[in-house]
Amino acid sequence: DSAASEEEACEGAADSDADTEAEDGLSAEMQALARRADELQQQLDALSQQAGQGDLPSGRPSSAASAAASATQVMQAAPALLAHLQSIIAEKDRLEQHLRGEQAELERELAMLQSMGGVGAAEASP
């Protein structure tokens, strides 16, 4: 029995060592992720400051600032573009309705002429 209990004690110690190593591995991974998150936050802060200034230290416009400016222009122009698009769609719908009316009228006239005696190509030619 003592051999069995010693074996169980060794297995328990091995399990706790494995658990500790796994925790240490997760802890190290979490620390690495936290460092990376801090680095990314610093980079974001630096880019935000550059975008606020509009220029990079070299004097060239920053791509983040120009992208932000472009996005702002698009967002400001969007309502006007949408209104223009809606007016074009309304005009298209009005023209389609008008053409359908004209087509229906021409079809009625054609049916009337055909019922009056069949105006054909032979009668219409001189």
Give residue 49's identity as a one-letter amino acid code. Q
Q: What local confidence, expressed as pLDDT, does residue 51 receive?
A: 65
Give the residue, 125 or 104, on which the prediction is more confident: 104
Q: How many CB atoms lie within 10 A of CB 115?
A: 8
Whether residue 60 is predicted with pLDDT greater than 60 in this model: the reply is no
Cα dihedral: 103, 104, 108, 114 (round 10): 50
Largest Cα–Cα separation, the chain: 127
| N-to-C CA span, the chain | 126
Whether residue 54 is predicted with pLDDT greater than 70 in this model: the reply is no
**Cβ–Cβ under 8 Å, residues 113 and 119:** yes
H-helix or E-strand containing 35? helix 2-53
Give the residue, 64 or 125, on which the prediction is more confident: 64
Q: What local confidence, expressed as pLDDT, does residue 125 receive?
A: 46
Give residue 97's identity as a one-letter amino acid code. Q
pLDDT per position as a tens digit, 12-36? 555 556 566 666 666 777 787 878 8
How far apart are alpha carbons 125 and 119 in whole angstroms? 10
62: which DSSP letter?
Answer: P
**For the chain, what is the mean pLDDT?**
75
Q: At what angle do helices 2-53 and 63-115 cross, to 10 degrees?
A: 80
